Amino acid sequence: MKILLTALLFCAPPAFAGTPKYSPVGGAVAVPLTQDNAYFRTPGTPAWDYWDLAAFYVPQYTGAACSDAAVTMALNALLNARRQRGDEEKNLDQREVPDLVKSFPWKALVSEEGYEGRHGVTLAQLGQAAAEAAAGCGADVAVTVTTVAAQTAQGLESFRRALSGNEKSPDDIMLLHFAQDAVTGAPGGPYAHVSPVGAYDEKTRRVLVMDVDREWYEPYWAADAAVYAAMAVRTKAFGSGGYVIIRKKK
């Protein structure tokens, strides 16, 4: 019993100190899913993407592998969710998916070592990786890439329409290329990051980000305007962010 109690003490959460998670200067812009999940308990809310992605939710396996984890989740959700599969069919593995991409060194870019001093991918490379990986799996998909080079009222409304359409369809997944710290308040940014959209609550205009940075985060809600602004953040290494939609063809 003494040994058990000691182990439990080591597992206890640390006392709170410092800046609250998800609460950057100026007020919180994100709310963890465990604190607010009422949307998924609302009658008549199918939440196709959330349930399909949740079944295949994986963490990035290196600090630069967010694009790999996000694309793998998206393809698993589109190709493997809600269908009968045989015992011989396994889930797509994020350590193998980059091998399907030949047009640029994606596997090296998401590794710990990187490629020629670089880690991670641009928005254009994210779209290319999604298209090539899907083709390598034999999937017939259309991939669209939308760059958010600046914040405009028209661009925000287009993003909202895309989110609304994505939420209503079981046949597409949206990936965000955004400055993570602009949403979560993580110090030291900007950090260009990639994660799927899990859901969109049109009434409250909030996006559920299925963040693949599982070492630090759980899924969180953020205002669509805040996510849009985070995509518009420009970095020297990656340029502007934006969003990618992977859609199964009929």
d(C-alpha 240, C-alpha 136), whole Å: 27
- Please state, for a pLDDT cut of 90, what percent of the chain lies above it: 81
How sure is the predictor about 189, in pLDDT bands with cuts at 50, 70 and 90?
Answer: confident
69, 95, 154 from 126: Cα distances, Å: 11, 16, 24
Condensed to tens digits (0 to 9), the pLDDT of residues 160-188 reads 999 999 999 999 999 999 999 999 988 88
User: Sign of dihedral through CA atoms 37, 41, 47, 48?
Assistant: positive
- Domains located in the chain, CATH noted: 28-82+90-248 (3.90.70.30)
Query: How would residue 4 be classed by pLDDT, with cut points 50, 70 and 90?
Result: very low
d(CA 3, CA 118): 46
Reported as a single tens digit per residue, the pLDDT across 111-142 is: 999 999 999 999 999 999 999 999 999 999 99
- Please give the pLDDT value at position 203: 96
pLDDT at 80 over 90: yes
Whether 5 shows a pLDDT value over 90: the answer reads no
Report the mean per-residue pLDDT for the chain.
91
- Structure token digits, residue 131: 């298209």
Give the model's pLDDT for residue 187.
Answer: 83
User: For the chain, how big is the Rg over CA atoms in Å?
Assistant: 18
Asked whether the predicted pLDDT for residue 22 surpasses 90, the reply is no
Residue 12 has pLDDT above 60, yes or no: no
Residues near 9 by beta carbon (within 8 Å), at least 6 away in sequence: none
Rounded Cα gap, residues 186 and 75, in angstroms? 29
Residue with tokens 């693949």: 212
Q: Which of 220, 242, 239, 219 is nearest to 230 (CA)?
A: 242
pLDDT at 13 over 80: no
DSSP 14: P
